[in-house]
Amino acid sequence: MVARGCGGVWRRAWQRGPGPGPGPDPSPRGQRAVVCNARGGAVPAGKSGLAPWIPVVGLEIHAQISSNSKLFSGSQVQFAAPPNSLVSFFDASLPGTLPVLNRRCVEAAVMTGLALNCSINKKSLFDRKHYFYADLPAGYQITQQRVPIAVNGSLSYSLCIDNKMSQIVTKTVRIKQIQLEQDSGKSLHDDTRSQTLVDLNRAGVGLMEVVMEPDMCCGEEAAAAVRELQLILQTLGSSQAVMAEGQLRVDANVSVHHPGEPYGVRTEVKNINSIRFLAKAVDYEIQRQIEELENGGTILNETRAFDSKLGCTVPMRDKEGKQDYRFMPEPNLPPLILYDAKSLPANMNHQQVINIDWIQERLPDLPSVKREKLVEQYGILPEHSFTLLNEDGLAEFFESVVKQTQMKPKKVIGWILNDLLSYLKQYSLTVKESPVSSFLLADLLNLLEKKEISSTAAKQVLAELWKGEGKTPLEIVKEQKLGLLQDQKELEQICQAVIDGQENE
Amino acid sequence: AVLNDGLRSQVSAALKEGQITPTELCQRCLALIKSTKFLNAYITVAEESALKQAEESEERYRRGQPLGILDGVPIAVKDNFNTAGIETTCASNMLKGYISPYNATVVQKLLDQGAVLLGKTNLDEFAMGSGSTDGVFGPVRNPWSYSKQYKEKSVPKSHSEDEESNWVITGGSSGGSAAAVSSFTCFAALGSDTGGSTRNPAAHCGVVGLKPTYGLISRHGLIPLVNSMDVPGILTRCVDDAAILLGSLAGHDPKDSTTVQDDFKPFELPNLTDVSKLSIGIPKEYNAPGLSSEIVALWLKAADLFKNAGAKVVEVSLPHTRYSIVCYHVLCTAEVASNMARFDGLEYGHRSDKKDSTESMYAATRREGFNDVVRGRILSGNYFLLKQNYEKYFVKAQKVRRLIANDFVEVFRSGVDILLTPTTLSDAAPYTEFIQEDNRTRSAQDDVLTQAANMAGLPAISVPTALSEKGLPVGLQFIGRSFQEKQLLTVAKWFEKQVQFPMIQLEEVKRHDSGVFQHQKSASFS
C-alpha cells in the first residue's frame, strides 16, 4: 500500500533516523554518566553544589506475544515476511469486520501476570484508543485502558554495585498493570520520492503492555529490570522478547526532583532498541534534565527520541501536540471473563474458558528460582548463576557439561564463564552457535581432570577446538603432543637426553 | 398471484410444483425493478449474478433437491451489508465503487440457502437518517405515493406537478428495502436497525419490519452505525415470512463475539386462537408529543382488539423513555465518530487528490467522502469522547441507557408479555415537507418510539395495521422480551390476521402480475 505525498510527516519513533532537533554535543555528558545508585541514594548535586537530585524512572514495555496468529484475527504472525502478506480483512480494517479474541494471547498475558505476581482480573475490558496514523488502519487501537487483565504486581531484579560481580543487590519494581493491545503496522518513509509505504503485517499482532511504576533511579536499574523481564518472558514463552526484532519495546519516563519535593516534570524517551541503549538513554536524560534545571531552565512534558548514534535524546517533532485519545469501550468485544478453580462453572466447555489456577500450576521455573537451584545444586556463586541465565542456553550448556564430566561444577563454571563465554563474546556468537559442543568441552575437561593434560595445554586444545575442524580433544592432544607424561622411565629418558645435550656443548 | 404471497404457503410451493421456475420469478422481479425504477429503491441491481443464482436454483429444483423454503426466492439487501463482488456503498461518496471481498454472514446464510440476491437497496448515508432522503444516490420514494389508495385520497391540485410534489418518503434508513418489499420487487429484504431504521420504513411502506434481539443475528459484514445497538433487520410482507427469514439468519457466529452461544431453533408460528392468557402492556410514555391523533386512535383500537379477545391489557410506565433521545444522541454519535475513523482514504474507498500532507489528505478525503449529516455526527461524537467530556456525556448516557433497559425489565417482570406501541408519530410525510427540517431534528423526532428497544436490545416488530386518512400505511409496534421472538411473532401474527391490512394497489405491479388484484381486500380495520 502506498500513500503518496506524505513525506516527512508520518513519523514513528522507533523508525526514525538521526533526529531533526538541535542535537547537543553528547560527548561530555556521555562520559559523565550518572553515578549509579544501586544503593538507592540520590545523585550528587551538579555544578551548583546545591541540594542533590533524585532521578525517577518508570518504564512502559511493549512485549509482542508469541502466538501463531494475531490478537483479534486469524492472520499469521511472522517476522520479516513479505510486506502485506499477513493481512486479514480485519487487520486492514475493512468495513464490517469484527474482532475475535485469540485465546492464546489471553493465556500468555495471564501467565505473564502470574509470573510478575499480579492479581489477575477475572473481568477485564477492551477499549478503543483513537488517533490518525497511516499504519493504524482502523483509526483506533484496541487496548485495555479501564480494566486491564492484570494489576498490582512486582518484579525483583538484581544488579551489581560499581560493576563488581561480588556485590549483588536485589531490588523490586512494582508492576502497575499488564494490558492486552494491538500492535500497529509499519510505515516506511521514502523521503526522496516523498512517499510512505505501509506494511500491515504487524498490524493487529498481540502486545502485552507492562507498566512499571517509577521505582527505578538510573539507567542501570532500568536495564536490569528489563533484562529480568525479558528472561521471564522467554522462560514463559509468552514473548520471544528479542529487542532487535521489535518484540520488546521500552519507553522510559524520566524526571528528577530534590529530596522532599514532589516529582519533577517527566519526559518520555522512546526509540530505545537495546538494553544497553536503555541504560544510556536514561542516564543521558537524567543528566540532561539536571543540567537544564541547574541552568535555570525548565523541563517540558515531552516525548524524546534516543539517538543511538549520537548517544543523546532529542525532542520528537510529531508528538508535540497533546493528543486526546478519546477512549471509549470497544463495543464489539464482550468483557473478558476468566475463571479460577472456585468460580469455574461445572458445565462449561473447557475450550471456551480460561482457568487461572490451571495456568498457575503449569508455570515453569522462573529465572530467580532457576538461579537458586543452580547455586544450591552445584555450589556455584550467586553471581555466576546470573551470568549463566543471562546468556540464552548457557545454563543448559553448563548443566550438560557437568553431567558428562567428573570435574566439580565449581571448576566447570570457570571454564564456562571465563573461557567459553569470552570466546563466544569475542566472535559474537550465541551459545547455540558455539563450535565447541558441551560434549567436546566435557571431553576436554575430563582429560584435564584425569591429569592427562595440564590446564595450560587444555586452553591450547580449546583454542584448537574453537576452529571447529571436527577433531576430538584427544586427537588434538596427540597431534600436538600436549599430553602430560606419566611414565617415570620416559621422563627420565627425556631428562637424560637434555642433560646429555648440555654436556656435549 | 405469486408475486404477492407468503413464502411458505405459496411461493415455495409454487416453485416446488413447478408452477413457476426460479428464473421466471427472478425475471419478473427484475422487470418490476425496472418499471419501478423511479422509486429509487435500489442502488445496485445485480441482474447477471441474480439470474445465475436463479439458474442454479432451478437446477436444484429440477433434481428435486431444493435447499429449503428460500431456494429460488428473490431477496434484496440494504447497501450497508458487504456483498462479495457487488458494490457496497452505504449511499456514500466514501464507498462509491467499493467492492467488498467478502459476504456479510447474513448475506452468506441467505445465499447458502439458495436465495437469489437481486441487488442492494438505497438508504440514508451510512444509515444515518429516518427518511432515506439523505443518501448520495437521492431519496427513495414510497411506493404508496403511487398507489390507488393514496391517489384517491390526496386532493389533486394541478395534474402535472401533482405526483412530483405529493410523493411521500419511505422513512428510514432502510427505506430502499421497505420500498423494494412493498412494491413487490422482492419477497424479503434485509435492513439494519439501530434506532428504528427497519421498523420505521416498514411502518411507512406497509410491510412487516422485525428488529430481532441484539446478539441473535450476526453483525459481521454489516457496516456499523452503532455497534452496541445495530441489528440486522428483516422486512417482509407478512409475519410468517419474517419468522422464516429469522430462522434462516439467527444463531451464533464465530466471527461476531457479541452473538449468543445458545443454539437457535427455527420455528413455525402457530395460529393463535386464544389470547386470554396474554398480558399486553401499553406504555403511557409512548403517547409522545407529536403523535398524531389518528395514530393514537389506531393504537387504542388495537388495544381494544386484544381486550375484546380476552387478553389482559394494562397501562404500564417506562419512566426513562423521555431521556432516550438525548441519550441515544450521545451514544450514537460517539460510536459513529469512532467507527468512521477508518475511512481515511488509505486502504479503500475514496481518496482525495490533495497531497500537501497526510493530514490534509485525510481531511480532504473525509470532507469529500461524507455528507453533512455524517460529518456532523463525527464532530459531536468526538466532542463527547474528549477527556474532559467523557464522564459528563458518554458515561452519563450509558447510565441512562441502563435505566431505560431496566424500565423494560421491570415491566416484563410485572407480568406483561408484550408491549404495544405506535411505530411512528404519523403517516409518511411528503418529501417536500420532510426536508423542511434537518436530518438531526427529523431523526430525533422519528426515532422516539423505536430507539428504546435498541437501547435495551429487545426484539420489536412493526406490523402494518391500517391506512391513514390520506391513504398511507400506519404500523404498530410490538416489543417483546429478550430472545422471545417466537412469542412476539406469534402475537404479531394474530394481530396481523385481525387487522387485514389492505394490499397496495400499484399500476406497475398490476401490469406484471394481474392476479394480484383479483381478490381485492378492503381496509377493514380503519
Asked if pLDDT for residue B408 goes beyond 70, the answer is yes
Instruction: Give the integer Cα–Cα distance in Å for B386 and A325.
Output: 8
Which position has the higher pLDDT, B358 or B28?
B28
The beta-carbon neighbor of A331 closest among B101, B228, B343 is B228
Q: Which residues of A touch B340 (CB under 8 A)?
A: 139
The Cα A347–Cα B317 span in angstroms is 39
Task: List, for residues B103-123, the tens digit of each pLDDT value.
Answer: 999 999 999 999 999 999 999
Burial of B159 (C-beta count, 10 Å sphere; 0-12/13-18/19+): exposed
Phi, then psi, of A285 in degrees rounded to 5: -65, -40
pLDDT of residue A189: 87
Q: Do the beta carbons of residue A238 and residue A109 sit within 8 Å?
A: yes
Q: Which residues contact A240 (CB under 8 A, 6 or more apart)?
A: A64, A66, A233, A234, A247
List the one residue out of B220, B347, B92, B385 whose CA is nearest residue A131. B385
The per-residue pLDDT string of chain A (505 residues; one tens digit each, 9 = 90 and over) reads: 433 332 222 222 222 233 333 333 333 333 333 444 444 445 555 555 567 999 999 999 999 999 999 999 999 999 889 999 999 999 999 999 999 999 999 999 999 999 999 999 999 999 999 999 999 999 999 999 999 999 999 999 998 876 666 678 999 999 999 999 999 999 998 888 888 899 999 999 999 999 999 999 999 999 999 999 999 999 999 999 999 999 999 999 999 999 999 999 999 999 898 999 999 999 999 999 999 999 999 999 999 999 989 999 999 865 446 789 999 999 999 999 999 989 988 877 777 899 999 999 999 999 999 999 999 999 999 889 999 998 889 999 999 999 999 999 999 999 999 999 999 999 999 999 999 999 999 999 999 998 888 888 899 999 989 888 888 998 988 888 777 777 788 888 888 888 888 776 6
Rounded distance between C-alpha atoms, residue A463 and residue A440, angstroms:
12
Distance from CA of B285 to the nearest CA of A (A): 29
Sorted by where each begins, the domain ranges of chain B are 2-152+167-323+398-499
Q: State the average pLDDT over residues B47-53.
A: 98
Residues of chain A positioned with their CB less than 8 A from the CB of B337 = 326
**Chain A CB contacts of B90 below 8 Å:** 95
pLDDT score for A492? 85
What b/e readout covers B329-350, taking b as 16+ CB neighbours within 10 angstroms? bbbbbbbbbbbbbbbbbbbbbb
The minimum CA-CA distance between A84 and chain B, rounded to whole Å, is 12
Which residue shows C-alpha cell 510486506?
A83
Taking CA B518 as the corner, what is the angle to CA B515 and CA B524, rounded to the nearest 5 degrees? 130
From the CA of B335, how many Å to the nearest CA of chain A? 8
Tell me the mean pLDDT in the region B512-519.
41
Distance from CA of A404 to the nearest CA of B (A): 53
Q: Which residue from B491, B494, B466 is spatially nearest to B480, judged by alpha carbons?
A: B491
Q: What is the ipTM of this complex?
A: 0.94
Residue B267 · residue B403 · CB < 8 Å: no
pLDDT at residue A484, rounded to an integer: 76
User: What is chain B's length?
Assistant: 526
> What average pLDDT does range B41-64 have in this prediction?
97
Spatial strand order of the sheet with A328-329 comes to A140-143, A127-130, A328-329
The pLDDT score that the predictor gives to residue B161 is 56
- Classify B196 in phi/psi space as left (phi over 0), alpha (psi -120 to 50) or beta: left
Confidence of residue B96 (pLDDT cuts 50, 70, 90): very high
Question: What is the amino acid identity at position A377?
Answer: Q
Distance CA A432, CA B114 (A): 59
Rounded Cα gap, residues A159 and A168, in angstroms = 6
For residue A251, which amino acid is it? D
pLDDT at B89: 98
Verify whether the Cβ–Cβ distance B358 to A6 is below 8 Å: yes
H-run or E-run covering B503: none
Report the pLDDT value the prediction gives residue A69, as an integer from 0 to 100. 97
Least CB–CB distance from B258: residue in A140, A196, A332: A332
Angle made by CA atoms A83, A87, A88, in degrees to the nearest 5: 165
Q: In the predicted model, what is the mean pLDDT of residues B155-169? A: 68
**Regarding beta strands A168-182 and A206-216, do their DSSP bridges make them parallel or antiparallel, or are they unpaired?**
antiparallel
Report the alpha-carbon distance of residue B318 to residue B312 in Å, rounded: 18
Which residue carries 385481525 as its cell? B498
- Among the partner-chain residues B344, B346, B385, the one whose CB lies closest to the CB of A328 is B385
Of A78 and B517, the one with more pLDDT: A78
pLDDT of residue A162: 67
More confident of the two residues A319 and B213: B213
The structural domains of chain A, with segments of one domain joined by +, span: 48-337, 367-488
- Judging contacts by C-beta atoms under 8 Å, the chain B residues touching residue A132 are 341, 344, 359, 362
Cβ-proximal residues to A469 (8 Å cutoff; 6+ apart), any chain: none
Whether the CA torsion B109, B112, B114, B117 is positive or negative: it is positive
Q: Please report the pLDDT score of residue B513 as a whole number.
A: 56
Q: Flag the least confident range among A105-114, A429-438, B432-441, B472-481.
A: B432-441
B293 flagged as catalytic:
no
Given the residues B12, B57, B78, B218, the one annotated as active site: B78
B418 closest CA partner among B503, B306, B343, B512? B306
Record: contact A328-B104, CB cut-off 8 A: no
Cβ neighbours, 10 Å, residue B59: 11
The answer to whether the Cβ–Cβ distance between B338 and A6 falls below 8 Å is no
Pick from B118, B128, B366, B348: which is nearest to A94 by CA? B348
Own/partner pairs for A52-55, CB < 8 Å, 24+ apart? A52/A258, A52/A259, A53/A256, A53/A257, A53/A258, A53/A286, A53/A290, A53/A293, A54/A217, A54/A256, A54/A257, A54/A258, A54/A259, A55/A217, A55/A218, A55/A254, A55/A255, A55/A256, A55/A286, A55/A289, A55/A290
CA dist B475 and B173 (Å) reads 16
Among the CATH numbers 3.40.630.40, 3.40.30.10, 3.90.1300.10, 3.30.565.10, which is that of B2-152+167-323+398-499?
Answer: 3.90.1300.10
Chain centroid to CA A473: 36
Strands B116-121, B74-78: parallel, antiparallel or unpaired by DSSP? parallel
Cell numbers 385520497: residue: B153
Query: Residue A352: its pLDDT value, please?
Result: 80
Instruction: List residues of chain A with CB under 8 Å from any CB of chain B.
Output: 1, 3-6, 9-10, 89, 92-101, 128, 130, 132, 134, 137-140, 196, 198, 324-328, 331-334, 352
Average pLDDT, chain B: 93
The answer to whether B225 touches A95, Cβ cutoff 8 Å, is: no
Q: CB distance A96–B100 less than 8 Å?
A: yes
Residue from A4, A6, A336 to probe the interface with B (highest B Cβ count within 10 Å): A6
Q: Which pLDDT value is given to residue A378? A: 95
Prediction pTM value:
0.89
Q: Which of B279, B312, B308, B303 is nearest to B411 (CA)?
A: B279
Alpha helices by DSSP H, A333-405: 356-361, 367-378, 382-390, 394-404
- For A334, the grid coordinates are 464482550
Task: Report the alpha-carbon distance of residue A42 to residue A53 in Å, rounded.
Answer: 6
Give A11-52 as a DSSP string.
--GGG--S-SS-----HHHHHTPPPP-TT--PBPP-TT--S-
Grid coordinates belonging to A62: 511493549
Per-residue confidence (pLDDT) for residue A13, from 0 to 100 = 26
For chain A, give the number of residues.
505
Is the CB of residue B172 less than 8 Å from the CB of residue B28? no
Q: Closest chain B residue to A10 measured between Cα atoms?
A: B358
B385–A6 CB contact, under 8 Å: no
Q: How high is the pLDDT of residue A24?
A: 39
CB B201 within 8 A of CB B472: no
